[in-house]
Amino acid sequence: MKIVLNYRKGNPRLAEGIETAGHEVRENLWDIKSIVSEGVDAVIFEFKYIFKEKCKTLLLMHKLRQNKIPSITWNLDSPWNAGIERWKVNLLIRSSVLSIYATHSLQDTAWIRNTRVTYLPNAAWLSRYNLHGASLVDLRDTGRYKWDVSFIGNIDKERFKEHKGRVEFLDALGGFLRNKGLNFLFIDGKDASIDKQVDIIQKSRINLSCLTASDTMMSKSWGLSERCYGIPACGGFLLMEDRVHAKDAFIVGEEVITYADIKDCVNKILYYLDKHDERRKIAEKAHQRVMREHTYKNRAEKLILEIRNLKNNVDTKTD
């Protein structure tokens, strides 16, 4: 198949997944004549860009519909939606211009009728986040670990207001860990290369996930962040916040460990720091699950199947 990705800065994760699955990717193709003449099978639009350039995107979606070429978008910000008013999101989905509304969270989607809804979570970006030459056996060595707990992610609350809650959580957690005499590292992802990030993950006994930009003051997103797949892909032990879709991605308690609140998080950290063999057993199971089911190739294959079903007029139910 030939898939167009209309993203302002590209979507290298998804492009890599589509190409790894054996299909062709074109970037930023907006001319309907070129799309038709080149035999494009579907166009995937950046979710935020639809609302930034409404006339441009909706006009192309209308022309695609006339030519029976599926229009798709992938929302990775639900329910926060990057500050987009909820009524605008609802109007887009109700309008039937979209063939497939893919989303990392099925939260608040039960009402959707006219558009095919596909659960499409984040995944592991394997060209970046992988074992980097180490083996799972290597990671069983107790002597390789430097930090008790680590977190890598956006912690710039001044520039990104949506991460204020995350920073407050980490500040409070850091106080507890410091009082316990534990060695921890919380850094902004922009300050570490991919190699450095993987090195930190593989030298941390516990790798933490906490809050996302998709969370709101009123509601925590059901969806999992990309780090929930990237950490296991690197062989790291993941301690993540309890989310609805956690159970759809992993066997909780066997492949990942979740926490309910900061008190539970501290208790889980103290427990698993003393359980090296148990930690590694869980981490290895998570790694195997991610490599088997949670790569961008897996996500691309699911989208391709959805596109084929649409072209064959297969009526499938919401995932």
Question: Rounded distance, CA 66 to CA 52, Å?
Answer: 23
Cβ pair 110, 222 in contact under 8 A: no
Alpha helices in 153-275 (DSSP H): 164-179, 194-202, 227-233, 246-249, 262-273
pLDDT of residue 239: 98
Question: Rounded distance, CA 206 to CA 128, Å?
Answer: 20
Question: Before 79, cis peptide (omega within 30)?
Answer: yes
Cβ pair 81, 50 in contact under 8 A: no
Which residues, 6 or more positions from 174, have their beta carbon under 8 angstroms from its beta carbon?
184, 186
What are the tokens at 294? Answer: 């949670």
Cβ pair 97, 51 in contact under 8 A: no
Domain residue limits, the chain: 2-123+295-311, 138-293
Residue (of 36, 40, 55) closest to 4 by Cα position: 40
58 CB neighbour count, 10 Å cutoff: 16
> What tens digit of pLDDT does each residue of 216-271 get?
766 789 999 999 999 999 999 999 999 999 999 999 999 999 999 999 999 999 99
Residue (of 35, 68, 57) closest to 26 by Cα position: 35
Q: What is the pTM of this model?
A: 0.94
> What tens digit of pLDDT does each residue of 82-120 get?
678 888 998 998 888 999 999 999 998 988 888 999 999
Residue (of 95, 131, 134, 129) closest to 115 by Cα position: 95
Alpha helices in the chain (DSSP H): 12-20, 32-37, 47-52, 54-66, 86-94, 164-179, 194-202, 227-233, 246-249, 262-273, 276-293, 296-311
Place of tokens 């290895």: 284
138-293 matches 2-123+295-311 in CATH topology:
yes
Tell me what the pLDDT averaged over the chain comes to: 94
pLDDT of residue 289: 98
194 CB neighbour count, 10 Å cutoff: 15
Residue, of 316 and 31, whose pLDDT is higher? 31
Half-sphere exposure of 8 (CA within 13 A, CB side): 9
Query: How does residue 318 score in pLDDT terms, banded at 50, 70 and 90?
Result: very low
Cβ pair 156, 186 in contact under 8 A: no
Three-state DSSP at 4 gives strand
Which residues, 6 or more positions from 302, have their beta carbon under 8 angstroms from its beta carbon?
118, 120
Question: Rounded distance, CA 284 to CA 251, Å?
Answer: 13
> What tens digit of pLDDT does each residue of 22-64 get?
999 999 999 999 999 999 999 999 999 999 999 999 999 999 9
Share of the chain above pLDDT 90, in %: 83
Question: Rounded distance, CA 151 to CA 217, Å?
Answer: 22
Three-state DSSP at 117 gives strand
Architecture of domain 138-293: 3-Layer(aba) Sandwich (3.40)
What are the tokens at 71? Answer: 């229009």
CATH 3.40.120.10 fits 2-123+295-311, yes or no: no
2 CB neighbour count, 10 Å cutoff: 15
